[in-house]
């Protein structure tokens, strides 16, 4: 009863902002402990991420991957599933993108390759999410255990395929050949340049627009469809969902298919948008970071966009910070990112009871 008296913006905005501020405060103490000025460090971090066009482009480029993986975690979580397999699903999704581009770049134009690559990313990522979903829904295996294991299987599978089958002949590097340019996603600075709009030279590409469209898709699917209602019912109370006649196994499998497909779109950004070849380790931890993005964004697409931009800013600003102040090594930047995850995830309820109690008392008075 008392929860209803707390304004919605308190849980949606105030508490996450306080958690982030506390994370930055502790990060400042860490920087102070190594003998550097935290105010100066914060200035470099903010300028590196948001102070010039190229920095903003890199921030949004990193955010693109985090939007995909954050949405993937969110869809599964709405059904009560903790999908930690985004890393493997993104890896296999990238394989799907790479196979499409390698097969068609010599014969097909971009407008044929691009939609097929989108389908390939979704199908391969969804297929990698299907097996853990089936084991959870039909055999009772725990989704956390199976998705973790499938991350390692995906990594080993990619090493085998690239080293033994897809590596470019005559080269030691474990990469495929470079795609022809008609299999590249356009960079946004190239699209905007003829219009006289300068957004800086960065890896930001058309995948960012696709990520925003996926946010709209997830919003409509979860909150404005019958299936979305079934998914949320399953996540809230599986017993009630079964009594209501919902096929919980079917909903579970479909949730993981959609989740895996969304994670697979990381391959569009990395393989087709930036690297232009199939290579190892392109996921770079985005699948795991997406868990923090989804938690911080309260599993809502708008929140996920904002959280992804924050983490993208930490990635880009952290690189600038490590360059400008060499004593703040990349490992210290990882510590800062970890503190944000800690306070926004594991400790997100630290202030919750006190703040809600304050607003409840105000409402009663």
- pLDDT tens for residues 1-20? 444 567 878 877 888 888 88
Helices (H) and strands (E) in the chain, counts: 17, 0
Best CA proximity match to 184, nearest among 276, 254, 266: 276
- pLDDT over 90 at 276, yes or no: yes
Local structure of 279: helix, strand or coil:
strand
Query: pLDDT by residue (tens digit) across 147-164?
Result: 999 999 999 999 999 999
Q: Span 289-303, mean pLDDT?
A: 92
- Judged against a pLDDT cut of 90, whether residue 185 lies above it is answered with yes
- List the one residue out of 220, 284, 297, 255 whose CA is nearest residue 65: 284
The pLDDT of residue 96 is 98
- 313-330 mean pLDDT: 93
The mean pLDDT value for 23-29 works out to: 94
Give the model's pLDDT for residue 2: 43
- pLDDT at position 3 is 47
Partners of residue 279 on adjacent β-strands: 175
| pLDDT at 339 > cutoff 80 | yes
Confidence of residue 171 (pLDDT cuts 50, 70, 90): confident
**Section 221-244 average pLDDT:** 96
Window from 189-203, 212-226, 253-267 with minimum mean pLDDT: 189-203
Buried-exposed string 97-130: b where 16+ CB fall within 10 A, e elsewhere: bbbbbbebbeebebeebbebbbebbbbbbbbbbe
Sequence-separated (6 or more) residues with CB below 8 Å from residue 43: none
Whether the pLDDT of residue 257 is over 90: the answer is: yes
Name the average pLDDT for the chain: 93
Q: pLDDT above 90 covers what percent of the chain?
A: 79
278 close to 178: Cβ distance less than 8 angstroms: no
Residue 239: CB atoms within 10 Å: 8
pLDDT at residue 258 tops 90: yes
100-140 confidence digits (pLDDT tens): 999 999 999 999 999 999 999 999 999 999 999 999 999 99
pLDDT at 164: 94
Structure tokens at 324: 């400008």
Contact in structure between 114 and 273 (CB atoms under 8 Å): no
* Angle at CA of residue 65, ends 340 and 100, nearest 5°: 160
Residue range 215-225: mean pLDDT, rounded: 98
pLDDT of residue 365: 67
Question: What does the pLDDT average to over 57-65?
Answer: 97
- Which run of H or of E encompasses 108? none
- Grade residue 364 by pLDDT with cuts at 50, 70 and 90: confident
**Residue 6's pLDDT is what?**
76
């Amino acid at each position: 009863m008392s929860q209803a008296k707390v304004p919605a913006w308190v849980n949606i905005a105030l508490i996450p902002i306080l958690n982030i501020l506390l994370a930055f405060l502790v990060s400042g103490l860490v920087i102070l402990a190594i003998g550097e000025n935290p105010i100066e460090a914060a200035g470099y971090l903010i300028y590196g991420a948001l102070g010039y066009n190229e920095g903003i482009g890199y921030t949004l480029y990193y955010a693109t991957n985090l939007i995909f993986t954050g949405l993937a975690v969110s869809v599964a979580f709405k059904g009560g599933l903790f999908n930690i397999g985004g890393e493997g699903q993104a890896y296999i999704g990238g394989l799907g993108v790479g196979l499409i581009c390698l097969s068609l770049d010599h014969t097909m134009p971009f407008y044929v390759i691009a939609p097929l690559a989108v389908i390939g990313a979704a199908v391969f990522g969804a297929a990698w999410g299907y097996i853990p979903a089936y084991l959870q829904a039909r055999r009772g295996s725990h989704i956390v255990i199976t998705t973790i294991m499938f991350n390692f299987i995906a990594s080993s599978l990619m090493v085998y395929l690239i080293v033994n089958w897809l590596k470019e002949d005559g080269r030691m590097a474990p990469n495929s050949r470079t795609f022809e340019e008609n299999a590249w996603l356009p960079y946004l600075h190239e699209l905007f340049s003829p219009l006289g709009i300068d957004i800086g030279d960065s890896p930001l590409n058309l995948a960012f627009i696709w990520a925003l469209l996926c946010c709209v898709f997830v919003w409509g699917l979860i909150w404005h469809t019958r299936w979305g209602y079934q998914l949320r019912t399953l996540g809230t109370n599986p017993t009630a969902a079964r009594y209501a006649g919902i096929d919980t196994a079917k909903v579970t499998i479909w949730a993981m298919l959609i989740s895996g497909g969304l994670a697979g779109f990381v391959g569009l950004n990395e393989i087709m948008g930036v690297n232009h070849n199939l290579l190892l380790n392109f996921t770079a931890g985005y699948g795991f970071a997406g868990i923090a993005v989804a938690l911080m964004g309260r599993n809502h697409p708008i929140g996920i966009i904002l959280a992804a931009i924050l983490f993208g800013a930490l990635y880009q600003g952290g690189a600038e910070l490590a360059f400008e102040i060499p004593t703040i090594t990349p490992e210290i930047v990882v510590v800062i990112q970890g503190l944000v995850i800690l306070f926004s995830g594991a400790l997100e309820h630290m202030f919750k009871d006190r703040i809600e109690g304050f607003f409840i008392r105000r409402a009663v008075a």
